[in-house]
């Protein structure tokens, strides 16, 4: 490893490094969006006839909450541990919320916009069927996908 790369890694590992927040820590606006979705979620599911089984999400939610706690706990002492823990917590917790929000949005029965998306693809010159055929081709697709 070159001395320049090693110097850069040591600089990243310093406490309170501003580069870590840019690399690992989700922007505060993303946390706000996650909490807004978390507030909308129970209201929407209570007002609809959709029944969602949440048993499989408890372990992921507990792990995400634990990572969030670690991020807060170690943010001052070890900034890289706090930043990685915050990022993991955000990905786990947001994934749980968006998974059920996607299901509720799909099950709500709004009209599909496939024709509009197809028109946009055609205007851009993108052919999904040709792309899928290329990706599933044994010689090319499996090497590059």
Q: 135 phi and psi, to 5 degrees?
A: -65, -35
Structural contact between residues 93 and 61, judged by C-beta atoms closer than 8 angstroms: yes
What's residue 67's pLDDT? 77
Structural contact between residues 7 and 70, judged by C-beta atoms closer than 8 angstroms: no
Which of 101, 99, 69 shows the shortest CA–CA distance to 86? 69
Structural contact between residues 86 and 25, judged by C-beta atoms closer than 8 angstroms: yes
CB count in 10 Å sphere of residue 79: 22
Residue found under tokens 């990685």: 84
Spell out the per-residue pLDDT of the chain, length 145, in tens: 555 555 555 555 555 555 555 555 667 777 788 788 878 877 777 777 766 666 666 677 777 777 777 777 766 666 677 777 777 788 888 887 787 778 777 777 788 788 898 899 999 999 888 888 887 777 655 555 5
Phi-psi region of 55 (alpha: psi -120 to 50; beta: other; left: phi over 0): alpha
Hey, what are 120's tokens?
């946009």
What's residue 76's pLDDT? 66
């Amino acid at each position: 490893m070159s001395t320049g790369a090693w110097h850069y890694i040591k600089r990243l590992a310093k406490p309170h490094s501003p580069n870590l927040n840019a690399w690992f820590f989700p922007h505060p606006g993303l946390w706000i969006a996650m909490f807004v979705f978390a507030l909308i979620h129970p209201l929407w599911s209570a007002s609809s006839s959709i029944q969602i089984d949440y048993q499989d999400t408890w372990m992921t939610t507990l792990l995400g909450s634990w990572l969030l706690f670690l991020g807060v706990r170690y943010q001052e002492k070890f900034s890289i541990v706090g930043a990685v823990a915050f990022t993991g917590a955000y990905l786990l917790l947001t994934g749980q919320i968006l998974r059920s929000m996607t299901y509720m949005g799909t099950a709500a029965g709004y009209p599909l916009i496939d024709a509009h998306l197809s028109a946009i693809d055609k205007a851009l010159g993108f052919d999904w069927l040709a792309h899928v055929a290329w990706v599933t081709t044994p010689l090319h697709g499996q090497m590059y996908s």
